[in-house]
Amino acid sequence: MAELPGGGTTLFPSRRMVALYGTPGTPALGLLGEQDVEAALDRVRELAARYQPFSAEPVRPAFEIIATVATAAPGPGGHYSTPVEPGRLRRWVEAAGAADTYVVLDLQPGTQDFPSQARTLEDLLVLPHVGLALDPEWRLRPGQRHMEQVGQVSAAEVNEVTGWLAELAAEHRLPQKLVILHQFQRRMVPDRHRVVSRPGLALLVHADGHGTPGQKQETWRSLKRDLPQGMRLGWKNFIDEDVPTLTPEETMTTVRPQPWFVSYQ
């Protein structure tokens, strides 16, 4: 069986991750897109190293790449979601793998469903260093539009995605895969307690609200309440929207429990 970046076949608790978030070539969507892939790899390695003094576990660098981007217009598929050009996406994924860096592919599906979009990325998800993130904020229901309403997803749809991904991982004898569920309001996944654990997957709720430290801690307290068994927690720092942005030391000493995955947007 292939191993994960940093070694081994199980993600947690043998490591934490610090990630740049965004999409290649689009600086407005996050730190990842502010430079080319080699510079992004250097930047995330340096950022992960700043967290190491505050973690008993090794801190590994990661990318969280928005692979399908929410749009204001319907686009060619009519889903208000546009995929990143496949060649560009693959170049970033393969460069990260060569640099021993984990990759999470983030889905913003619009009116399309998460399982359909996930299946379009199968050729990348069979790589041992690639996981998946579902972002319900951008999962539109009929009549909704991005930036006018906050989307949501059902546990049934999440479970359909994870069931397929777990089968894919088993078929290809892959190491454990990370599945991130983004959330900053409980109603974004109203029946989260019905999300099931799967062999071969590590599930993580990622608190990606922005604001003051007090506002973010309030969101954190809400999201970790009634957390399904086996589900871990992640945290996002916003460089521009947080007032102020927490330092690595503040992130690891004031956020409890310590997040297993920290991303920067």
Domain count, the chain: 1
Q: Reply yes or no on whether the pLDDT at 37 is more than 90.
A: yes
* CATH code (residue 48): 3.20.20
Is this prediction's pTM over 0.85?
A: yes
Helix (H) or strand (E) holding 169: helix 155-171
Q: Is residue 42 domain-resident?
A: yes
Position 72 in a domain: yes
Q: Which long-range contacts (CB under 8 A, 24 or more apart) does 111-114 make?
A: 111/78, 111/79, 111/80, 111/81, 111/140, 111/141, 111/142, 112/77, 112/79, 112/81, 113/139, 113/157, 114/139, 114/153, 114/157, 114/158, 114/160, 114/161
User: Which tens digit of pLDDT belongs to each residue from 144-194?
Assistant: 788 778 889 999 999 999 999 999 999 999 999 999 999 999 999 999 999
Give the pLDDT band (50/70/90) at residue 141.
confident
* Domain region containing 74: 16-264
**Residues 63 and 40: beta-carbon distance below 8 Å:** yes
What is the share, in percent, of the chain residues with pLDDT greater than 70? 100
pLDDT digits (tens, 9 = 90+) for 58-108: 999 999 999 999 998 998 888 999 999 999 999 999 999 999 999 999 999
In a domain? residue 1 = no
DSSP string, 13-58: SS-EEEEEEEBTTBGGG-GGGGS-HHHHHHHHHHHHHHHGGG-SS-
Which pLDDT belongs to residue 75? 83
29 is written with which tokens?
Answer: 């969507």
pLDDT, tens only, 252-261: 999 999 999 9
Report yes or no: 180 and 204 within 8 Å, Cβ to Cβ.
yes
Cα separation, 52 vs 60, in Å, equals: 9
Q: Is residue 87 part of a domain?
A: yes
Residue 143 confidence (pLDDT) above 80: no
Tell me whether residue 260 is in a domain.
yes
Q: Considering the chain, what is the average pLDDT of its residues?
A: 96
Which band of pLDDT confidence, cut at 50, 70 and 90, is reported for residue 247? very high
Q: Is the residue at 195 inside a domain?
A: yes
Query: Is 10 a domain residue?
Result: no
Q: Is residue 166 part of a domain?
A: yes
